[in-house]
Structure formats: structure tokens, C-alpha cells
Structure 1
Amino acid sequence: MNKEKLLIIGNGMAGVRCVEEILELDPLRFDITIVGAEPRPNYNRILLSKVLQGEQGHKDIVLNDWSWYQEHNINLLAGEQVSELNPENRQAITASGMVIPYDYLVLATGSAPFIPNIPGTEKEGVITFRTLDDCENMKRYALTYRKAVVIGGGLLGLEAARGLLHLGMEAAVIHNAPYIMNRQLDAQAAGMLQQELEGLGMTFLLDKHTARITGRNRVKELRFTDGSRLGVDVVVLAVGIRPRMELAERSGIRTSRGIVVDDYMRTSVPAIYAVGECAEHRGISYGLVAPLYEQAKILARTLCDSNPEPYTGSIPYSQLKISGIDVFSAGQITGPDTEVAVQHYDALSRTYKKVMQRHGRVAGAVLYGDTTESAALLSMVKTGAAAEQLLTRSSDHNEDQLGIRGMPLEEIICACNSVSKGQILSAVDEHRLQTVQEIKEKTRASGSCGGCRPQVSVLLQLAKDGKTNQAVKVKEGLKPVCSCTDKDHATLHSLISETVIHHEDIKSLTMHVLLQQLGWRTPDGCPVCRQAITFYLRMQDVDVQVLSPECLHAETEASAPWVTGIKVWLDPGLKKCEFYEQAQSLSSTCLARWIDVPLPDHLSAAITLLSGSSVSLLVHSIGISVSPAGWEVYAGGHSAHPVKESQLIGVAEEVEDVVELASAALQLYRQSAISGESIWQWVERRGVMEIRHHLLDESSRQALAIKLYRSCGRPAKANVNLEKMEGLCYGEA
């Protein structure tokens, strides 16, 4: 069987990532040729600043060396350029005259530095910062010249300026806005960053507009529109990029800001696709690595006929890559209808955090000094999480380990490559990984911009120290739900949550439509996945009866994959002690608030004395006992095989506080358990430290408890007469 010919024009990160995805999906499908303009293998352009700053060498940023192309029988034409396309005959002609036939063509031509319309940009000493050759030019100039200026105070410009300082040059940044990185930061964060960079020796001229670059043949001076001048030896232009689309334009392919593509990365010409910085999707061209990789995955699935989900766009984010300075930005920082949800400034530790909301949803975030929360906040921005969920995050993120340990398994650690905490833990456990480099090789986490490397390092150390018991337990959760999909329970759970948040009219949703949106292989699923889906919807408090009955089949309320309510056992021995009236009030309040709550499994609660009781506290799902400190609350006990002892999750003095703590624990279990998971399994998988992390934070605990009360349609302060409440049990359990 003859293989189809696939031609990739561009040996950069987007084009080669598409090839990597194809090799994983269907390695024998295509005869692949890659044409690359640079005379070298694929490398990580994002880390050029690390090369310039002396932290890494050329070899350190190579993503795929020469041997990789040979191992996968890829024909790499390095140092070659395609000058002409013949779409009718499906041929590409190179500048050297080679004719390359193709069945499918991918334009991954990337972008070029934007050259502003300033007289004098053609003079010697005026350079850009885009390739390894540009890094070499800067190093060469640094041997002879002293004064350097970077025009552009954005992310790339600041990284270039820091590299010039490392090379021993003076570095001044010229920016046409009132503060640096004005597209990613607010004035507060930008001011903190500028002060830090000035401490390194960088200088700034803000609100400055360059009128011309002067000098006979070589740059000598900058002249500004306000009449001032600045002597200079080297000028680095870092004012943005523009998609390389000249080849597409000459070939009759539709272009606008970039090469126009649809949701499956198809251009206007059959059999020709575009991906990466050269592509324009829904009016946007992305210059960040995460969107490029997302596009590459969808394009690979399109080419391999693997039922791709449509690409709907990406959330932009930035992470500054200057040694010792941590800055993160994602989503909308300013704009109409946005307002501050959370803002915190600590002058002593020089940390700053601001989270923006729009219509009650998390819309953007800025972090300075401590970027531990970057992955979690980016996930919230991407999913449009409810702003009230910010309350469930710990207010203390000074300890990196605490922040990482508290993350759920499905939370993304590496945004560039979409690698979750669970995937990293699974790889560490399965392959006995010992270093961050090994994790990068197995999962790609920290393999692009490197911004998540500290989180990956902390996660690895936690796994080594045995401080997260998720490493072994995660494997079961990552298995596909059923043969209808490749998605695991954690992913399905997350997607269902997003659907509930973003679906305009959840009551109009049918199982058939939902399965289509989830990318299911079969139109109606199977009993296994239908039960899992109805379970996750019900735990999101969606009335599953709105789903089409013909698809639900036997998944009726009577056989639903959840149970309603919880039995509460009251220790008769309490009648003899002074706390009996409080225990009665506690029993009736708990039962009133929990009686109609849908739960993942059959649960029981026990209210008893700490010792000498006929009711065994430690083998109940929820245990509440009288103690010298007030009331102790336990979770995760199991009386049948295997017998499990419940774990202490908190202490409270007042009855209302006890109910709130126990209710918050139940809600945390409801919203994070996987289908069919009992509470003792959930406690073992999540870990008691992580559970306490959520419950002992007051705002988090209150938000969880209120959500539980709302799930059964009862007011938060509901109460009932103990004698009239059915299901309350006395005696031994």
C-alpha cells in the first residue's frame, strides 16, 4: 500500500508538533517531508532568551535532533525554502528548483519580526530577536560595542534587554506606552517589574516615540518625536511579529491578517492546511506556544481522520522568562464589563495578585513575585469558572507544596502542552521518574516555555517524599470511561462541569447532543458512559430528566448511579451526658439539610461520644463526636470489607459550625468524586491533607456548605422536629 504524501512547510514548533501528534495517532499513514528555512533541526524558540542570558546553550533548546528525523523516516530539507505552490497539480517548488509532490500540504511558515515604519531600520547595527542567528549577532556586537537600545517594552523586548545586560552591554528600553508590558500587566505589576529590572541595570524611556534612526551607514543615534536624542551602537527591534503568508498569497489561498483557516485548520484551498503563527482563526493569529500546540493536535486528528473536536480559540497568557523574576498574566486584564475579583499586594515580600471577573466569571489574572497559582488560575480563566470558586482556593500560597498538593488531579500544570497533575503523577509512579528532565521526556511537562518547571519540581518532590498518596491511585482515574471514548473520568468530569457552566439553556440539552459535544465515537454511548455522564451531571445539580429518555434507557431515578440522602445514627449513650440537647439539634439539622442531597454512594453519619460508645465512630462515612475541644468531625470510614478508619478533618465548637464543616466535606466529595467512588476511596485518593486544605479555609468551607444546601432546594437555615424526621436511627451501627 502506497503511503499518502504529507508535506510540511516549516520546521518550527507548530509544524513539528503536528508531525509528533500524527506519529502517535497513525505512524505508518504518511510519507512525510519537512522543509525548513534554517539549516538546523527543530528547536524551542521560546527559550532563545535563556540562550541569550547564558542559562542554556544551543544544544539545550533543541527539541528534535537530526536522529529523530531519521528514526521516523522523515525527509528533512533544512536550509531550503518553498518559493511557489501549484495547488492544481499538488506540487511545491523550492528556491533551488526542487519539485515536491504532495497529497496534503501544511503551511507552518510561522511569523517574522514586525519592522516598524521608522526611517533607518535598514542600517547596520539594527537587528531583530527571533532566531538563533539573531542571538549570535547580539553576541558578536557585544564584543565591540557598548550601548544597546531595545525598541519595544513587551515580553520579547524585556527578555532581549536582559540578555544584552548579560553580554555586558548597557540596555535601554524604549516603549511607546506609559508602562511596560501594558498588554499583559496593569500599572501596579508593571511598576514592580520595572523597579526590579532597573535594579539589574536596565533603563527605561516610557511614552517615547522614535522618529528616525540616524547614522551614515551604521546606526549612531535615535531621534524622538519630542525632539530629544539618544546615542546608541546597537538597536534591537522587538515591537511584535507578523504572520508569514506571502507564499499563500501568491498561491491564491485566502489571507487576511494571516492565512485564514476554519475550526479544523483547513484553508480555502482543498488539501492545504495552516497551523501556528501564520494561521488566522476567527480573526485572531496567535503568537504563543499553547495555542499553536492545541491547533497542531486538532490538525493531526483531522489529517488522520480521528474525529477531531473543532478548534474554538485559545486564552492568551504570558510568563516572563528572566532569571529571578516571576511574572504571569492570562486572559482579560482590562476591558469593558471587567472588574476586580481579588487583589492583594504585599510590599514586604514584593508579591502582587489580581484576578479579574466578567459577569461573575473569572476572566483574567496577573501574578507577580509568586506564580505558584498560575496553572490553577489559567485553568479557571480557560473554563470561565464562577468567581465564587476563588473563595475555595487557599488564601495562603506562601508554601509551594501546599499549593500544588491542594490541586485536583485534573488541573493542568503545564499549560503549553496540556499536561495535568494526574498525568505527571501517573508517569512518575509508572516509570519511577527521578528528575524533572525525565518527566519532561515522558510527558512534555515543562518542555516548552519552562514556566511550570518549579511546579513540576515541587510535585516530583512531593511524590518522592510520599506526601501525596495520589501517585498510585491516579491510574484508575485515568483509564478511559468506556470503549466509546479515550477520555478518562477526570477529563469527563471536567468537561461536564464546563458544559454546565457555559451551556446557555441546560434544559434543552439532550444526551445525543451532549455526546456529540464531548466527541464520543458512538452517537448514543453505552450504559457505562451514560451512567457516568448522568452521575456527573447530577453531582452538578442538573435535573437529568431533561436528557432524552430514549438515550437514558434504564438510567432512571430508580437505578441511577447515585443515592439520595444519608442516614444519621445518634448514640443513645449521649442521653446521659450534658451534650444530649446539642446532639439532638445537631442530628435534626444534619438530617434536614442532607435528606434530599444526591450523593455518589450510600453514606452514614454517626454522632457519638469519643470513647465508650455503642456507635462505632470510626467506621462511618461521617463521624461527629463530643470532645474536650468541642466537636470533632471525621470522614472516610467503612465498616464492611475492606474496613477503613475515618480521618479527622476538623474541630468546631458550635453546632452550626459542626454542620457547616460536615456539609462542606460532603459537597467537596460530591463535586470531586469519580463515578462509583465511595467516600473512603475518595479520601484515600485525594488525601486527608488536601481535604483539610479546602475545609479549614473559612471562605472555602462556607462556599461549599452553601452549595450543598442549595443542591437539595432547602434554605441554608432549614431545621425540623427530630421526632417527625424519618430515617433517623438510634442504637448500634
Structure 2
Amino acid sequence: MTKQKLVLIGNGMAGVRCLDEILKLEPNRFEVTVFGSENHPNYDRIQLSKVLQGDTEIADITLNDWDWYKKNNILLYTGETVVSIDTEKQVIYSDKNREVEYDKLIMATGSVPFILPIPGSDKKGVTAFRNIEDCEQMIEYSKEYKRAAVIGGGLLGLEAARGLLNLGMEVDVIHLADYLMERQLDEAAANLLQKELEEQGMNFLLRKQTQEIIGENRVEGLRFSDGDEIKADLVVMAVGIKANTKLAVESGIPVNRGIIVNDYMETEIPNVYAVGECAEHREVVYGLVAPLYEQGKALAGKICEVEVKPYEGTILSTKLKVSGVDVFSAGEINEDDNTKAIKEFNEWEGTYKKVLIRDEKISGAVLFGNTKEGNKLLSLINQSAPISEYLDTENGEDSGLSFVASLPNEEIICGCNGVTKGDIVNAIETQGLTNIEEVKGCTSASRSCGGCKPLVADLLELTLGDEFSKSNQKEAICSCTTLSRDEVVESIREMNLTSTKEVMNVLGWNTVGGCSKCKPALNYYLGMINPLEYEDEKESRFVNERLHGNIQKDGTFSVVPRMYGGVTNPDQLRKIADVADKYNVPLLKVTGGQRIDMFGIEKDDLPKVWADLDMPSGYAYGKTLRTVKTCVGESFCRFGTQDSIGLGVTLEKKLERINTPHKFKMAVSACPRNCAESGIKDLGVVGVDGGWQIYVGGNGGTDLRAADLLCKVKTDEEVIEITGAYFQYYRETGIYMERTSKWVERMGLDTIKAVIENEENRSELNQRLDEAISITQEPWKAVRESETIQNELYQKVKIPAIVK
């Protein structure tokens, strides 16, 4: 049987997802040709902001790599645009003079960014934020220029602004409306979001209409309709998108705001279909992912002549992270005279919830800060459920399992990738899947933002029943592999793997060269397992660690010399003052870790600054011991019962420069008054009559956690021994980028206690720690500052000399 010729115009998410559905139904029915204007295979446009922000790389957001096209016998033309269609002869023509006949044609031309028609919009330095090339252009500009203006306070604009902040630029966000994201959030949630983003460094100009982009050949600033002006080197237009219908219009295919289609995505022209952001269905053009995937399923069924549910429209919902903040909205978001609302606002936790009710039924919802109820609320909104159903679940009459059991099979669980409950359950049953990572690999559910993981876990438990094991719910270290941290570490040990490239090749990484998430993790695990043999791969480290400074929002760096136990002397202070004068350091700040932070140092000056300081780094940028905070102790304080400075300095000298899964902070307080805040540190020591208490797993950051009491000991030597064993046990069992607060909860305090209390375990852990200590070297000249002078200082106050 001769295959029909299927041509897809557009290599984006909607079109390729439709192809995927067609291949599932009829893998051998069509000879498929795809045209894509970009020079890349199909990628997740939603994740572009993460590329701009530096959290991931282009390879990480690729949905279908080059091999996928080859494996499915798809002829792909990238960097080539279809310029005309002869719908009578059924032939398309490209800008490279290529002619291709078709039996079926799918138009998935997507959308184009809306560029404000104002004077200066054609100047150099004006860009949209729509594709990989836009990201690359902004990254290049950030290397030379420092001030950016983002026009548009919607989702796209805020994500662009966050990325530009990460690139070291100062960012103004200009928005015409009274508050941010007015299409997705109500004013209360938007105000909370604005406050959070301002704390991150964004500056907002609301109720401002841009009148002109000023400058000669390139951007120099913006002028507003009220006469105000601001300076800018880069202008990002993020004011919206419009359906890309140019080709359809020129080819005689009926268009309104989008290409007009019916419930099976058919246009009025025979054998021509449209899907995604370019299509207009029942007078609505959709820009979110879930509706586009639903459209793709309807179209795939129609084109394969399989009975399928027609596409009847979608209630719009948004569940996403905006610059690290969780937000959700669905249905109606603003009240009127005929609605009532359930509202909850927790100022301490920074969460907000509003559920709208119309005619006793749930009509909409807005969530900020905590979006766990998002899927449940969306389902109830889709069903026009009475408010009593929601109130019943609020009162505990519905569990997670009963909720997912009540969902129909066509309910979308993963909005980012359009994966339904039926897709997941079928994969679990037919493929023998037993954990979230296997479901992700098979169905792509939770592949993008990960917000649906709890629902996927519930579906696994519901489907597998007694065979479900919570302990089997491993998490892959990144999207490049399905292997968990434990599996990777075990393989490195068993196979004696010696480099990140070897690990990736031997263990079958699906992304050549890995990604920004797994490369530093593998580098850490290899160094932790073989400290005497492994040579640290600097290129696998984060930029702050490579440059030995913390990058700031203006693109400069901060430098933190180490001050053991927070104790300093005139010699150190003179060095810091001299360097500050020499390099015009604009800010010297005493940190919470009792050190001096030098802000505003240029990247090129970092090596010279460290050479002139001639002091060890405080590793304020490292995944290692940061600080050991101390109080003044018994030598000066009338309440102090122990020598907190002496013990703190000894611990800091012992453990500095040793790599850990995440940053590690310590404190030593001389009495239960706890002036060094030992109760919220990764490890805190508190002096009591006759000895010391050791606390672990504390966190004073965003996820505040009080430390747990690990044990009580009598001597400094016991503190040092137990701290070393605990420190090494965390090194050996922690997941890279996992703070001890999360590690303690995952491992269980009783398990950790049992390991540390065993004398043989303690001895072996300290031996392995000593091996790591024996080979650590400073990346610059490791001269400890004038130790004779500092030891003399300690002797004067009856504090033991620093242990070398």
C-alpha cells in the first residue's frame, strides 16, 4: 500500500505532538515531512525562561531530538520556511525553492510576538522573547550592557526580567495595567507577586504607556506618554502574541484572528488542517499548552480516520512558577455582583487562596504560594461542581487517592505535556511502571515543571494497589537519565568510573555531554567517592565556584575572605581596607556569618583581589563549609560556660574546603542563650554545664527548620569526632543540592543517630573524611593569615591557639 504524504508546517510543540499522536495510531500510514523555521529540533518553549535564567541548557529542553525524527522516518527541514501553498494542486513551496506535494497538510505555524508600533522599535537592542535566538541575543547583550527594560508585566515579561537579573542586568518592568499578570491573577495575588519580585531585584513601573524608544542607532532609553524617561541599553517586548496567519491568508485559507477550524481542526479547505496557536476554534485562539495537545489528539484521530472525541474547547487554567513563586488560576478570577468568594490569606507563609462561587457552583480560583489544590480545583471547575464538593474535600472527606479515582480518563494530569490520566494508567498497566521516573520517561508526565508529581504518585498507588512501594519512588538526578542518585553512586563505585564523561557514556546518558544539573552533581559524587584519585573538573562547576566569587545583580562579584570563628585582627583588616581602596570596592558589609563581604568587584579583577588579600577564601559561593559562627564564650561573657571561639575555630580549620552536597553552616554557642544561633544551623553546638549539645538539620532560610538534638557530649574532642562523622555521612548519602534540613527528614533522625552512635562507624567515617582533607588545596595561594599574630591574640584572652 502506497503511503500518503503528510506535510507539517511548523516544528513546534503543538504540531510535533500531533505527529506523535498520529504515529501512535498509524505508525506506517504516512510519509511525513516537517518544515521548521528555526535551526533546532522540537523543544519546550515553556522552558525558554530557564535557559535565559541559566538554570538549564538548550539540550535539556529538547522534547524530540534528531534521533527521534530518524527513528520515525520523518524528513525534517530545519531553518527552512514554507512561503506559499497551492491548495488546488496540493503543493507547498519553501524559501529554499523546495516543492513538496501533500495528501494531508497540517498548519502549525504558531504565533508571533507583538511588537509595539512605536518610534524606535526597529533600533538595535530591541528584541522579543519568543525563541532560542532571542535568548541568545539577550545573553550576548548582557555581557556588554547593564540596563534592561522589559515592556509587559505578564508571564512572559516577568520570566524575561528574571532571566536578565540572573545575567547581571538592572531591570525595569513596564506595564500598562494597574497590576501584574492581570489575565491570570486578581489584584491581591498580583500585589503579593510584585512584592516578592521586588525583593528579587525587579523594579516596576505600572500604569505606564511607552511612547518612544529613544537613542540614535541603538537603544538608549524609553519615553512614556506622561513625559517620564528611563535609561535602557536593551528593550524586551513582551506585550503579547498573535496567531501567525500570514501564510494562510496568502494561500486563501479562511482566517479571522486565527486560522478558522472546526471541532476536528479542519479548515474550510479540503485536506488542510490547523492546530495550536495559529488556529481559531469557536472564536477562541489558545496560547496555553494543554488546549493545544487536546486539539492534536482530535486532529490525529480525524486524519487517521479513527473515531475520536471532538475538541470542544478548554476552560483556561494556569499553573506555573513565576521567578520561583508558585501561582495558579482557572476560570473566573475576579468577583462581580453575582459571585461570592472563599478567601484565605496567610501573611506569614506568603500564601493566598480565592475560590469563586457563582450560582452555588465553583466558577474560578486563584492560588498564590501554595498551588497543591490546583488540579483538584480545575477538575471541580470543569465539572461545574457545587461548592459543597469542595468544602467536603476541605474537611477531610476526600483523600488524594479518592480524588484521582474520581477523575475521568481524559482528565489532563500534566498540563505542560498534555498527558491524561488514561495515558498514565495505561502506561503503568501495560509497561510495568512502578515509580514516577519511569512514568516520566514513558509518558513525559512531570517532565517539565514537575507540579503534577503528587498526582502521578497517587495514580501509581491507585493503579498498583498493594504492589505500590513508596520507597521505590526514586527520583532521577536529571532529565538526562532515569537513574537515581543512589544508582549512579553505586555504579561509580562498582565500575570504578573516573570522569563525568565516562559515567555518562557507560551509564547511557540520553543527552550528550549532560546538562547543567547533572554535570556538577557527577563531579561531586566522583570526588566524594575517590578523593585521592579524582581530579576535580572545574568546567563542571557552577560559575560562582569557578570564579571564586558570588555574582551580583549588576554583574559584579562579591568576595568573602575567611575569618575563622568570626575572629579577626588588625593585619587582616588592613589588608581588606587596602584592597577596598585599590579596587574601589563600593560596599563592605559584615555578614551574618561574622565575616566581611566585599561587594562590587569586577570579574577581571577577581584573581588580583585574591592575590592582594593573601587570605583564604571563605567559600561564600561553594557547596562546602561556609562559616562557623561563634559567640565570645566564657573568656568574656558572664553567661558563657564553654570556650565557643576555640572550638569553633578548630572545627572551621578542620572542615574548610571539603566539598559537600550543598552549603553547610555551623555555629558554636557557649551557653543555652544561643547567641550564635546554633539552633538553626546545619550543625550547631551549644555549651551546657559539663559539656556540649550537638544539634543537626537546622535551616534559617526560606524553609525555616529548627535543628534536632543529635546527642550530648562532655569534651571538645567528642564534638570534633561526632561532627566529623556526621559531616562525612552527609557527604556520602546526601543528594547533590540537598540541604541537611531535607536530608535529615529524608534519612530519618533515628537512622542518623544509629550510624553516628556506633563507634566503628564513626571511626570509619572520620578516616574517609581525613582522606578527603589530606588532598584539599586552595585554588590560589593558600597562605593562612599571620597565624603567629592571631595565635598571640587568642593567648591573650586564654583561648587555645588555632590548630594548624
Taking structure 2 as the reference length, what is the TM-score of the superposition? 0.55
Q: Which amino acid aligns with 1:31?
A: E
Query: How far 1:457 sits from its partner (Å)?
Result: 7.2
Check whether the contact 1:319–1:451 (CA below 8 A) recurs between aligned residues: no
Check whether the contact 1:436–1:453 (CA below 8 A) recurs between aligned residues: no
Q: Which runs of 5+ in 1 are unaligned?
A: 476-733
Partner SS for 1:230: strand
CA offset digits 1:618-638 (Å, max 9, x no partner): xxxxxxxxxxxxxxxxxxxxx
Matches within 5 A, 1:409-420: 409-411=405-407, 412=411, 413-419=413-419
* 1:102–1:470 distance in 2 versus 1, CA, 3 Å: closer
Residue 440 of structure 1: aligned partner? 440
CA distance in 2 between counterparts of 1:381 and 1:338 reads 17
Q: Which amino acid aligns with 1:407?
A: F
* 1:213–1:43 distance in 2 versus 1, CA, 3 Å: same
CA distance in 1 between counterparts of 2:245 and 2:260 reads 10
CA offset digits 1:380-429 (Å, max 9, x no partner): 222222222111212579xxxx9644523253532344545676467557
CA distance in 1 between counterparts of 2:112 and 2:425 reads 39
Residue 115 of structure 2: aligned partner? 115
Check whether the contact 1:372–1:403 (CA below 8 A) recurs between aligned residues: no
Residue 215 of structure 2: aligned partner? 215
* 1:422–1:312 distance in 2 versus 1, CA, 3 Å: closer
CA distance in 1 between counterparts of 2:462 and 2:261 reads 45
CA distance in 1 between counterparts of 2:31 and 2:416 reads 28
Query: How far 1:436 sits from its partner (Å)?
Result: 4.1
Residue 258 of structure 1: aligned partner? 258
Partner SS for 2:57: coil
Aligned residues: 464
Query: How far 1:189 sits from its partner (Å)?
Result: 0.4
Q: Which amino acid aligns with 1:409?
A: A
Query: How far 1:342 sits from its partner (Å)?
Result: 1.9
Residue 269 of structure 2: aligned partner? 269
CA offset digits 1:646-669 (Å, max 9, x no partner): xxxxxxxxxxxxxxxxxxxxxxxx
Partner SS for 1:393: helix
Query: How far 1:335 sits from its partner (Å)?
Result: 6.5
Residue 403 of structure 2: aligned partner? 407
CA distance in 2 between counterparts of 1:474 and 1:93 reads 55
Residue 88 of structure 1: aligned partner? 88
CA distance in 2 between counterparts of 1:165 and 1:396 reads 42
Residue 455 of structure 1: aligned partner? 454
Query: How far 1:96 sits from its partner (Å)?
Result: 1.1
Partner SS for 2:394: coil
* Backbone CA RMSD of aligned residues: 2.3
Partner SS for 1:195: helix
CA distance in 2 between counterparts of 1:213 and 1:139 reads 21
Check whether the contact 1:410–1:421 (CA below 8 A) recurs between aligned residues: no
CA distance in 2 between counterparts of 1:5 and 1:380 reads 42
Residue 19 of structure 1: aligned partner? 19
Residue 464 of structure 2: aligned partner? 471
CA distance in 2 between counterparts of 1:410 and 1:423 reads 16
The reply on whether 1:249 has 2:256 as its aligned counterpart is no
Partner SS for 1:445: coil
Residue 184 of structure 2: aligned partner? 184
* 1:338–1:238 distance in 2 versus 1, CA, 3 Å: farther
Query: How far 1:146 sits from its partner (Å)?
Result: 0.6
Check whether the contact 2:149–2:172 (CA below 8 A) recurs between aligned residues: yes
CA distance in 2 between counterparts of 1:306 and 1:430 reads 22
Check whether the contact 2:289–2:418 (CA below 8 A) recurs between aligned residues: no
* 1:199–1:69 distance in 2 versus 1, CA, 3 Å: same
* 1:332–1:344 distance in 2 versus 1, CA, 3 Å: same
CA offset digits 1:39-95 (Å, max 9, x no partner): 111000011011112221111100000011111111111111111111111000111
CA distance in 1 between counterparts of 2:450 and 2:324 reads 12
Query: How far 1:118 sits from its partner (Å)?
Result: 1.7
Q: Which amino acid aligns with 1:360?
A: E
Q: Which amino acid aligns with 2:132?
A: L
Check whether the contact 1:426–1:472 (CA below 8 A) recurs between aligned residues: no
CA distance in 2 between counterparts of 1:75 and 1:421 reads 32
CA distance in 1 between counterparts of 2:396 and 2:116 reads 45
CA offset digits 1:118-153 (Å, max 9, x no partner): 211111111110001111111101101111111000
Check whether the contact 2:8–2:106 (CA below 8 A) recurs between aligned residues: yes
Matches within 5 A, 1:539-578: none
Check whether the contact 2:357–2:387 (CA below 8 A) recurs between aligned residues: yes
CA distance in 2 between counterparts of 1:403 and 1:268 reads 47
Query: How far 1:293 sits from its partner (Å)?
Result: 0.3
Check whether the contact 1:275–1:292 (CA below 8 A) recurs between aligned residues: yes
Q: Which amino acid aligns with 2:390?
A: L
CA offset digits 1:524-579 (Å, max 9, x no partner): xxxxxxxxxxxxxxxxxxxxxxxxxxxxxxxxxxxxxxxxxxxxxxxxxxxxxxxx
Query: How far 1:323 sits from its partner (Å)?
Result: 4.9
Residue 156 of structure 2: aligned partner? 156
Query: How far 1:115 sits from its partner (Å)?
Result: 0.9
Q: Which amino acid aligns with 2:180?
A: I
Matches within 5 A, 1:55-66: 55-66=55-66
Q: Which amino acid aligns with 2:371?
A: T
Partner SS for 1:297: helix
CA distance in 1 between counterparts of 2:423 and 2:249 reads 42
Check whether the contact 1:425–1:471 (CA below 8 A) recurs between aligned residues: no
Check whether the contact 1:425–1:474 (CA below 8 A) recurs between aligned residues: no
Question: Quick one: percent identity of the two aligned structures?
Answer: 49
Q: Which moved more, 1:186-195 or 1:421-430?
A: 421-430
CA distance in 2 between counterparts of 1:213 and 1:347 reads 39
Residue 703 of structure 1: aligned partner? none
CA distance in 2 between counterparts of 1:321 and 1:332 reads 20
